[in-house]
Homo-oligomer: A and B are copies of this chain.
Amino acid sequence: MTRKILVLPGDGIGPEITAQASRVLAACQARGLDVEVEEAPVGGTAYDLEGSPLPESTLAKARAADAVLLGAVGGPKWDKLEDISKRPEKGLLGLRKELGLFGNLRPALLYPQLAEASSLKPELVSGLDIMIVRELTGGIYFGQPRGIEERDGQRVGYNTYVYSEAEIERIGRVAFEMAQKRGKKLCSVDKANVLEVTMLWREVMERLAPEYPDVELSHMYVDNAAMQLVRAPKQFDVVVTGNMFGDILSDAAAMLTGSIGMLPSASLNESGQGMYEPCHGSAPDIAGQGLANPLATILSVAMMLRYSLGEPELAERIEAAVSKVLDDGLRTADIAAEGAPRVSTSEMGDAVLAAF
């Protein structure tokens, strides 16, 4: 059965990097992968074209797809939009929510070839391999009530950080299963000494633990987790946390590797349908110049093959090709040492295809 893939280039460098990833997808088709690939607009680009960051037609195509590949959304052009429901980010948040993509997997993996790019001392990060499991459709991102309103003569802004047991259990299971497949250590991050919602979080994680006796569960407060990531990141295997803390910690963890331009991510729903995207943003400052690193997006295709399309061998081939081009010394600007030669976005794509 032919499966459907929807590519959403988005804004900024999105179109350039998804173009290279699409070439890799085409190479997979040439090797027998039976997929149909379609494109649609999202984010600021979609707003400019159709007046909405998530047009109905894009959403309908995403629902019908087995997997979605997203470039990136956002840019200063749309930051001043008064109606915040029209901002590019709302397209992304809408996709996550509408597709029920609650399980966000964000690996922070140090490529040995790029070890010197880390701002941390080499011995602290060599071999770093953390998987952050972030809840993506709940928490304070989506909690109601929310807004800005007048109270006692002055304006007040408010949001609600809320999780139900079922939501916590669902993401907890993803994390425990991930830990079982990896180093069997799971660290749940919360702020249970202050926030009731995370007391419930901790309680549910504790309740799940006996079902995964091979996994060692620990708990850490979010402030301490931020410190420990800086101090001794290799202590972590799998980390599970809510939407907001996950946003912060996964970016910090990604930056530990020094090459956020290398890191893919997956966002999965209950039926294994997924959206795949690089961890980095839309980098409007370098858009359209052929400077962007397409590897995170290409590696997102590998994650898609593994998690949504059941093609682990093709996934490994892509990962091996990326490793090969790094071995060969190819570097886009973001991962090049000072003064070292750099390749363009499409030259990097060429090299991956040649190694594939």
Contact = CB atoms under 8 A, between A and B. Distances in A.
Contact of A227 (B84, B154, B254): B254
Contacts of A232: 119
Interface stretch (A26-34, A145-153, A209-217, A300-308): A145-153
A131 B230 CA distance: 18
Interface stretch (A64-72, A176-184, A190-198): A190-198
Interface in A90-142: 93, 119-121, 124, 140-141
A249 B223 CA distance: 8
B200 A140 contact: no
A22 B21 CA distance: 63
Contact of A199 (B84, B120, B164, B198): B84
A196 B164 contact: no
What is the count of identical protomers in the complex?
2
Interface in A155-169: 155-166
A247 interface: yes
A255 B143 CA distance: 32
B157 A158 contact: no
Which of A147, A157, A191: most chain B CB closer than 10 A? A157
Interface residues of A, number: 61
A162 B260 CA distance: 32
Contact of A157 (B124, B200, B222, B252): B200
Contacts of A200: 148, 155-157
Interface string A322-342: 000000000000000000000
A143 B230 CA distance: 30
A147 B198 CA distance: 10
Interface of A: 74, 84, 87, 89, 93, 119-121, 124, 140-141, 143, 146-148, 151, 154-166, 191, 193-201, 222-224, 226-227, 229-232, 244-245, 247-252, 254-256, 258, 260
8 contacts: A120-B230, A143-B158, A157-B201, A160-B160, A191-B244, A226-B249, A231-B255, A231-B258
